[in-house]
Structure 1
Amino acid sequence: MVEDTIPGGRWEIGPKFRRKLVTDHNRIVFGGMPLHLRLSSQLPELTAFVIKRLVDGLDVYNQLPAEELSGDIARIIEQAVRTFLEVLRTGTLPEPVDLAIVRESAARRAEEGLPIDAVIGAYHVGAQACFDFVEPEVQPDDLRSVLEAHRLLSDFLRLTTGAVAAGYLSERQSMFGDEHGARQTLLATLLAGGQSADIPGARLAESYFVISLSIGKHPDETVAGVDPGIAGRRKLRRLRTELDRRSREPVLSMLSTDGGLVLIPHHLPSASVSKEDWASLDVLATALSKVAGAPVVAGAVAAEPAGVPAAARLAGELRDVALIYAKPVGVYRLADLLLEYQLTRPSPARDHLASLLAPVADRPDLLPTLRVFLDSGLNRRQTATTLRVHPNTVDYRLRKIATLTGLQVARHEDLLSIRAALSALDATTVRG
């Protein structure tokens, strides 16, 4: 065993290279109280102090969403401080297993795209902040304690930054590792119409839910001063995690922060997909919207491997139709959008239908009233309440529409034409 001495104690270096300070650790005193007790009693204040130092001292942390700073970043700071307090209390440096949360946090920062120098630098900034936090209460007699605490902190930082580097680099490698590459190769092959024979060792599912996603913006992506790229990647990481969690087989995906394509394996042929299976996709869309913190609207088609290319095109068209008609969060099949889909296909019939409402298309009072009236189930009083006008005003506007277009909402045959014309008008307006 090798020994080294410092004021007030002795270092012992054991066979596992764990360094233990053989001393009375209650002698590491700042301002008349053992340092580990003083810091633990002020842990919330110390955590907030460290966060402020990170934001003020490192530009990349200044651009993080407030949600992340008060959540994940605050938790890792508090845990790191607690681990160091245990070092102060016992004089024993942590084992690798004790630094698991540090490695996991570094992996998340890698996935979000933070540079490694900023991630490692945050621990040094935090260490300095801890000393600055207690400095006003340091007495002249505390010099030996300062030296002992600094020695402990230096060794603790050496281990911690090593764990940070290991977690960060491991995640970066996994992001571009063999499994990721295999999934992307399989996805590319399916989209090109290839079969399992084209991919050595690949096993294709009986069928796939081919889902084209539109992902809205998380509020943090529009907050001034927040880096939208980081906020978007955090949203995407949560979404990918949820996709994998809800599937028994590896999910194939090609996603960006605003959407993309997902293939979810299914164990039955597409013709055997049940209503419950489709309903589960709506549940999935709700879950994805929740974890992403943004609306997720999608078009979906079930297809065998050979049909994936055509299914991907149709799913993308269904997604676009759902967006054109401002559909709520959900996964939409062709059966859900038959009329809307047909009316978005260019044709003389669509143009003629849209022209039926052309006389009122530019009237800011008439067309909105017609929309609300149809959405309310032809309830004039509810329409009046929604628009904050008198019911007689609603009646007047509907009569005006009838005069200008020749279509009366009270006639069943006209009502069908009005609904179709409104859908055609929306399609041609958005496409135009």
Structure 2
Amino acid sequence: MTERAEKHSSAEAAGDRTREDTTRRLERAMGALGTAVMARMDERLPWFRALSAEDRSWVGLVAQAGIAAFVEWFQHADEGKPTPNIEFFGTAPRELKRSISLQQTVDIVRVVVEVVDAQVDELAAPGGEDQLEQAVLRYTRDVAFAAAHVYAREAEVRGAWDARLEALIVDALVRGEVDDGLHSWAAALGWTSAPVMVIAGHAPEGKPETVIDRLRDRGRRSGLDLLAGVQGERLIVIVGGAENTAEAVRQVVPKFGPGPIVIGPEVPDLHTAARSARAALAGLRAACGWPDAPRPVHADELLAERAIDGDADARAQLIENVYVPLAGTPLLDTLATYLEQGTSLEATARLLFVHPNTVRYRLKKITELTGYQPTEGRSAFTLQVGLILGRLSESALP
């Protein structure tokens, strides 16, 4: 054996002895290190002080497990043993990983490094200070990267689960199945928003996941709470907690594909959102009956088309809004005659044997009672449909 080889072998042996001595010192100091780390976190990290006693205890166990894993790894680090991933993080419950962010995990790692660095001279065997310091830096660096990987995986799993819950909520509202399960799913997503409205239209080109991600991004930037689902060619968006409905709609509309967009009525909460969803989807089906409809259009503006298309809700609403307030009064005959005479005041007055001003007065009262103006084309059409539906409903009574 050459002199150089002998010197190298002697140096390795000395390094091994130093590592063994340092390892024994670390093993004896593990309890004290854990206590020092907890004290330093309590001193330096406000978020740690705000944790519950149970969560603080779990963080302490995680820190202690991390120190023990380092000592075990350091003992064999010279053999090329790779730094471990953070299996020791699995000692904590899943809920802790949700209440502590990745940045806070990095804070914990940083505190551990500071505590160990401050005691390197006492912990390392004589001549082993650099050896210990380099090992600590390598270990904590790899643990930080491993923590980032764990959080990324958790976020991916959580994101997939959230997307599934979101799809279930949208599907349940579309089918009108509002029960305790719907509220449990919404609670899991942190949904507490009110009021609520549902917007329906055609989905743009692209994968459904991409479409919904874009909507979520727009919602976050606009400060809106959004749930969305793509069902075939339809895109359904649930908007919650909007202070300005018009502004909320304006933010969402660009994310729809070509074609009509229908806004369901605003409802108090998610429990009643099925009504808004029914109206929006019925309006979307019937929108082709009004080619010149604005985009977006409110579902109530399509009541006549929806009723003709067979929407029971729209029929009941038209009867309630148009026929019921006028039934049993001269206003009903006046409206029927006015519409049948092509909205001619003079012809209506002649047939009813009244002055044209009387007809004008009655038309004004009809507008006040129904909200529809007989002299305006769209309103006259809606009134005509409501009148017919009311007559049909009365004839169907026994």
How would you bin the TM-score normalised by the shorter chain?
0.3 to 0.5
Q: TM-score, normalised by structure 2?
A: 0.39
- Larger fraction in strand: 1
Say which one has the larger Rg: 2
Q: TM-score, normalised by structure 1?
A: 0.36
Higher-RCO chain (CA-CA 8 Å, sequence separation at least 6): 1
- Larger fraction in helix: 2
